[in-house]
Structure 1
């Protein structure tokens, strides 16, 4: 392989350079809870007036950011949480992720029941246990929604008791219900709480401690890059899947978790950061969301590129990732070079080599027949080289604040001394 170090032809000051905002969350953050994944997703799609969530199976992503009637709305579609067959570890993990995605806290929790639900006393106690895990004041922010029935249909007595605890906040969703009217109901709940959100900090810390005490050790992997097809290939390889839906959303963090080769892999796909329609604040939230779902931190960022010469888009995406996450991401970045077959010569042009050398600690070749065990060995070696350190949310926020302080100092240096101009 040639080792010539050529200059990297990437604009160091892209025209759309962003200044992150750490204090402007979306207008409303909403958590959807239901035993039935399909019903949960349909209610979310009803609110957004489009098919944002899969309804036939469990959604891959837990949340969706949208602009509704000119205002931001974040829906956290929390599948299965109300089911009884979950382990305490699974409940803890899902609650922690839900709290992270709705940070600093949800404005409204929508508790969804079908009109014919047989809600037993045991079901009621389980629902209340889940709600109380968020906060002691959870009922002030919770709305009970019952689906598709006539006004004369009797609601189960145990559901009625939950409605009473939620200060009688109940919405009957009927076939002719209007999304705009329902969203007005949610806005009224926010106004009743003086615009405040649910405070979940104490519960969140408790859940983190429970997670840390668990014997389950997860490998946190983030797949990134500008080519969705290549990202899909790596996700499919990492999770050892024989099939995966071909159309991936480009504006949302995608999360999958599976045990492969004796390791529990927590895999996330980061949306495009350079060519994106997301606003600065939305993109910042996606980045923080990705990190928060990788407690205690990301072990490796996998950036996959084609074997042939890099396009300007690949270079710009790599630079943007490096700029957003800071230079500290380099020791956790592994570039995977996609070959057409294992017989393809392992040669790279000078520019590609220079880009790799600048932005990543390691690079490896992969092809359609690469074994997941081989890739896991390479990742494990990288983790050992990093002494098991990971890229955490705290690292990210620290680098962002340091960047803002540096920019402020530069501004002060460039500004003239007005007292001397008088």
Structure 2
């Protein structure tokens, strides 16, 4: 390709790009379009790296094997994806998550993607951009309308990527301009300020003793978002396959939300490994307990449960939910555990969840994981099958939570299931 006169600023002297995606998503074709030559074969079985000069830039593209469903993806694919990351040392400028516009992106696709991302043992969202392939198959549909039609899973994924995306078509006549747009977006992403948002929020919101409960709740939500933003940063200069945590290890606060008789208090006791919260008695106000768990400082907050049958005071429930973030230690990483028992789940349950979580604002969904209680009721079946059987109401909730969920048996004193839960919380 020739250098375009309206091309990139000289501040970006080279690019390292990592391609990730499911099988037959168009990864290899996208890599060929970026390098403007047939660098990659269509059936990728091993991660490979190719270089080229594009618009005057030195560009390295790493292609990786595509995944299948979580249960059918061979282990060697996961191993090769991790190997592909090592080709990007000291780190990729952009991770291009390739999604074909000719297929849907729902709960199953999210689960398959999340399973592979966990293998990388590091947070990747700060440097990820969605690359929509087969853009010519949209017909007269705009990419914005396509995204709206796809629903919650894709929209939540885009939010995780800070709404960064680029469309590429299969027509070579259009690819040069699309690659230029892609590079310009990557440059803006690389140059974006990386200051933790919590610093900005503290400068904007003065704290005082007479702060209102609602104001304090807003502060805690913004502080939580800033902390999670800071925890998920991934500096390209220090990246590696097993870089794991960044070294910043905040306290963990888990806020239990759910309907009455959902097993909230039992779940809290299971996590803390003691009878902190009374079971079988209606919880009327929020309360907190603390424990050191596997080297982690963990606070658990129990809240009043709502009722589908008028057995709980709605105002009391809202007040308890609003108060809950203020019971967490200052600076702790707050995660909401939406407790859902493994039993019936219908549209009325979904509406109740939406109504009661709305008091915390839309941002609460970014920091929420579903905790399925009474896992013993699965009786040897899988939670994925349970989710499928419960249909659209439960899938709606899971999509809003970014498909983060965990199953526990509150009757068992099993440290391993608690450690698994905390590990998932740390990776959110």
TM-score, length of structure 2 as denominator length: 0.38
Tell which has more relative contact order, 1 or 2 (C-alpha 8 A, sep 6+). Answer: 1
TM-score, length of structure 1 as denominator length: 0.39
